[in-house]
Amino acid sequence: SYLVKGNCLYLDGGAVLGGVMFLDKAKILKLAKGFRGRSKNCIRIAAPRVTKALQYATRDRKQKKREMRSLWITRINAGTREHGLKYGQFMSGLQQENIQVNRKVLSELAM
């Protein structure tokens, strides 16, 4: 197993690997499947692209959570404004009444 942090690649033992051969060639090419041009079959081009793709995947998993929460809040806000409330007032009212419903469920109810 490995971990990508910045430009460094770490193995399980904590060893830092440099260059493009941090994984065996078969694994790199397997991870590069679907890339365009020589990035999918030329190891010297595929390795840095795979490394960057893994970095993007890690970053975007966190970004996806942020975007979903923002979408839920937007939907709840639209639903509450139809009934003459603002999002903050609605959430404050739920909290005062000790009603524990998460934003995902509330957004589905608002639609």
Residue 5 lies in a domain: no
> pLDDT-derived band of residue 44, with 50, 70 and 90 as boundaries?
confident
Residue 100 lies in a domain: yes
Residue 30 lies in a domain: yes
Provide the domain count of the chain: 1
Count other Cβ atoms within 10 Å, centred on residue 53.
17
Which residue segment(s) compose the domain that 62 sits in? 21-110
Q: What is the pLDDT of residues 72-104, one digit of tens each?
A: 999 999 999 999 999 999 999 999 998 888 899
Query: Following CA atoms 7, 64, 103, 100 in sequence, which dihedral angle do they give, to the nearest 10 degrees?
Result: -40
C-alpha to C-alpha distance for 21 and 44, rounded to whole angstroms: 9
> What pLDDT is recorded for position 23?
62
